[in-house]
Chain A
């Protein structure tokens, strides 16, 4: 994370944009051209921004594209081994409300919780290791 050249702020904003556009493509029944994506987003990110982000998502192998007329039409990748699903997850996870929707098996711990947990499990008489 610290390896990224730009700060946390702009990167996060980009991630949210990517999530938004990925969302639009997931909702659509067919592949969409950048113009159609921009239209569905209500014109808030400009056409050129949409093209940039679509190209970036394509480079990340999250989208497939085929030419339609003079433009490319983009659609989400659906693959067999779930490779794209993982990438898609990391992008969609930038959405602010996302965490509230997932039920995670075990979240990471604060250092004090980790100590507490080790103590709880260490004192367990059924310990079998």
Chain B
């Protein structure tokens, strides 16, 4: 209870490092899985930690101690956690529960709205073409999802580039990338220290889809050029749509530190493909195993404490 309960919170401080290593050095499909699982496990474990700490505060409240048949004096004697730590943990726990609830609600509603909209769109083979001169293309999740492309984007790209665009967007839908993004976001809502992991997932799903498009067409340089062409023609977006993007991802492959996701995707496609890096998966697995063990240990300690102070 003394140290184990704080480990999930302490290990969350590794999130920027983990996000950088996984998103820039690991093959994107594996990276997406590792980042999403890490965000979920660390988010759940740190919430449990806060809950355990908060309970040590609650059992000192005389009314609750009476209900649970605990001795308030024994708690003060035997519990190593300071009351103020328990109170801060309780406040943070309340914040985490609210943030998770709010995110679940808004994201579920947005996904449902997107699915409804997708169902209303007449499509040929899952593709919807909209009359719009602004170059734009996106995957709209749904059952089934739709790939939406503007005529502006179709005119901008040639036939081979159309295939790349479609392969990229279909990869998003086929691999349910919106779920990875949403689940990693859930972990980050529970624990804001994990935001770099969630931000990295929004990047690695794009890399994953880029590599799928490259595999479908057999030409990574062509995919890089297509992504660059589309991005340069798209209307400028004011910065800050995904402020977490810059977090945890520092200079790599000769790119400046603040480089945005599109230049990083293009640079990754122009460089040789990344290998599978089992050692990164092993390291991430080891961290998560430590987190799971520490939560189990802290829970057992609290159980023993409750037995000890029982009257």
Contacts and interface: CB of A to CB of B under 8 A. Distances in A.
Interface of A: 23, 26-27, 76, 78-83, 85-86, 88-89, 92, 95-114, 116-118, 120-121, 124, 126
A79 B122 contact: yes
Interface string B230-256: 111011110101000000000000011
B228 interface: yes
Contacts of B225: 121, 124
A103 B169 contact: yes
B259 A89 contact: no
Given A27-B116, A95-B113, A101-B140, 9 more contacts: A78-B122, A82-B131, A97-B106, A103-B169, A107-B234, A107-B261, A110-B236, A110-B260, A117-B263
A13 B260 CA distance: 30
From A89, A92, A102, A120, residue with most partner B Cβ within 10 Å:
A120
A27 B115 CA distance: 10
A120 to B, nearest CB: 5
A92 B138 CA distance: 14
Contacts of A120: 224, 228, 263, 266-267, 270
A95 B107 CA distance: 11
Nearest to B119: A26
B172 interface: yes
B148 interface: yes
Nearest to B265: A106
Contacts of B143: none
Contact of A105 (B129, B132, B230): B230
Contacts of B231: 106-109, 114, 117
Interface stretch (B42-50, B72-80, B177-185): B177-185
23 contacts: A26-B113, A79-B122, A85-B128, A85-B148, A86-B132, A89-B117, A92-B117, A97-B106, A97-B110, A100-B110, A101-B114, A101-B140, A101-B141, A102-B139, A103-B138, A105-B137, A108-B237, A113-B262, A116-B256, A117-B262, A121-B224, A121-B228, A126-B221
A89 B182 CA distance: 21
Nearest to A105: B137
B216 to A, nearest CB: 15
B130 A89 contact: yes
Contact of B113 (A86, A92, A103, A106): A92
B111 to A, nearest CB: 6
A82 B139 contact: no
Contacts of A104: 136-138
B190 to A, nearest CB: 17
Contacts of A96: 106
Contacts of B139: 102-103
A102 B202 CA distance: 11
A78 B198 CA distance: 36
A107 B245 CA distance: 13
A109 B236 contact: yes
Give 6 nearest A-B pairs by CB, closest first: A106-B231, A108-B237, A106-B230, A86-B130, A105-B137, A103-B172
B107 A116 contact: no
B108 to A, nearest CB: 10
B227 interface: yes
A26 B116 contact: yes
B209 interface: yes
B232 A117 contact: yes
A111 B260 CA distance: 11
Nearest to B227: A106
A48 B117 CA distance: 26
Nearest to A122: B228
A110 B10 CA distance: 35
A61 to B, nearest CB: 13
A105 B169 contact: yes
Contacts of A76: 120
A41 to B, nearest CB: 13
